[in-house]
Amino acid sequence: MKPIKYALVGVLALITALWSLSDTMFPEQITWFALRKPIVQYSGIIAIVAMSLAMILATRPVWLEKPLDGLDKMYRLHKWLGITALSSAVVHWWFAKGTKWMVGWGWLARPERGKRPEIDPATLEGWLITQRHHAEIIGEWAFYVAAILLVLALIKWFPYHWFAKTHKWLAALFLGFVFHSFVLMNFSYWTEPVGIVVALCLIAGTVSAVLVLLGKVGKQRKVAGKVAALKHYPEAATLEVTIELESGWRGHAAGQFAFVTFADKPHPFTIASAWDKEKGSRLVFLIKALGDYTEALPRTLQIGQSAVVEGPYGRFTFDGSRARQIWVGAGCGVTPFLAKLEALAKERGTTADVSDQPIDLFHPVAVCPPDMEQKLKEAAEAAGVRLHLIVSPRDGFLTGERIRSLVPDWKNASLWFCGPAAFGQTLRADFAAQGVSLSNFHQELFEMR
């Protein structure tokens, strides 16, 4: 989490510092109208920069995965940037539009305006002045629609298939915000450092928005395939899907995920199988019924059905130099660990130079069908990993204290967690309270909205 926190704070601090070189929030007389102009400019700049960066992240740039610790963290940053943009836009809208309303209501008295300097309409600045009304109208109505879409994106019960469709509209609205910002930003800023940074953000954001609208995101990482096998575990509300890919898959590390398109919109799923170049591009996904889209898959998917897989993404790849590892795969969060178990089993069978790093896998789950339990035990045994299967109705709940009691050498371990975010945060806080460095607690933030 630290890289994306630093990124967000760093961006806001940089833009604020650059804007401060060109303007000030502290005029000689502190009045509503004296504060209005700088607040409108500053809040507008923060909003458009945040939107631009969010739009860039929407294109899933692989080169940012290393500094930001994976695409799952990048999507969390994308969410934070969206909230930042919405919050700043609300302030921007109120000081711009609300001031006019308050004057009309008699709450404020508009000060007398001095004579405006004459500007040649043939110049760029003059042309921008002629476009102010259009930019204000476009910005206002784009704000209303974008605010609704951003709020819906934050509501978990809003159906995923509707979210996927409506969220794409933000790319078109962003282009309206670009025009709004280009016309209405203080003209003198464009020759200042803050204007140069904003211009770069607008250009990069515009290119990204066009890619989103044209459906070009991840194009170079997409491989076509077909559903080769299906196995449903109704007790666990889980569907095992095997996809046979055509040539072009570049391979993946255990723990990575991909976007899979079966019929309509791509949906992210962790890959539950290890990469084996010799056996071809066959990927396995364990899909838990967690929403309207995934609940329908057991009824709608058929063997032989076409599919498109885009990836791989993510850095939840079990890299680390600690003496041992503790894995916690809660519920369907066991998926990346299944891929790693398969990879370790292959290493044990093909090379004598196998790491003797002890690994404990904790799998807390509400229901575990016998055939799924047997499969998990065999995979752990083949990989040389100690399995702790905890079925909550029978064994109770998993806690940090319970993990430490079963792994006496826990202080020398790195922890890898995948599962419900709230459970992960609880374990993180529990181990941090015991002196474990957060740099040794790795959590996949598998929430794309």
| pLDDT one-digit tens code per residue, 221-243 | 999 999 999 999 988 889 999 99
Mean pLDDT of 247-252: 88
Six token digits for residue 425:
């945060």
pLDDT per residue over 193-225, tens digit each? 999 999 999 999 999 999 999 999 999 999 999
- Among residues 405, 402, 443, the alpha carbon closest in space to that of 69 is found at 443
The residue ranking higher by pLDDT, 399 or 354, is: 399
Torsion of CA 189, 192, 194, 200, to 10 degrees: 100
pLDDT at 120 over 80: no
> In the chain, what percentage of residues exceed pLDDT 70?
96
pLDDT at 352 over 50: no
Mean pLDDT of 347-372: 79
Mean pLDDT of 285-301: 88
The beta-carbon contacts of 429-438 under 8 Å, at least 24 apart in sequence, are 430/399, 430/400, 430/401, 431/400, 434/400, 434/404, 435/411, 436/411, 438/1, 438/2
Mean pLDDT of 88-117: 87
Confidence of residue 348 (pLDDT cuts 50, 70, 90): confident
Distance CA 86, CA 149 (A): 10
Instruction: Give the CB-side neighbour count of residue 429, counting CA atoms within 13 A.
Output: 6
pLDDT at 350 over 60: no
Q: Angle formed by the axes of helices 335-350 and 370-383, to 10°?
A: 40
Mean pLDDT of 98-126: 81
pLDDT at 160 over 80: no
- Among residues 350, 362, 349, 355, the alpha carbon closest in space to that of 417 is found at 362
**What pLDDT was estimated at residue 276?**
82
Mean pLDDT of 102-117: 81
**What pLDDT was estimated at residue 57?**
96
pLDDT per residue over 298-327, tens digit each? 999 999 999 999 999 999 989 877 889 999
Average model confidence (pLDDT) across the chain: 90
Mean pLDDT of 274-298: 85
Kindly give the pairing relationship between strand 222-233 and strand 238-245.
Answer: antiparallel
pLDDT per residue over 18-30, tens digit each? 999 998 888 777 8
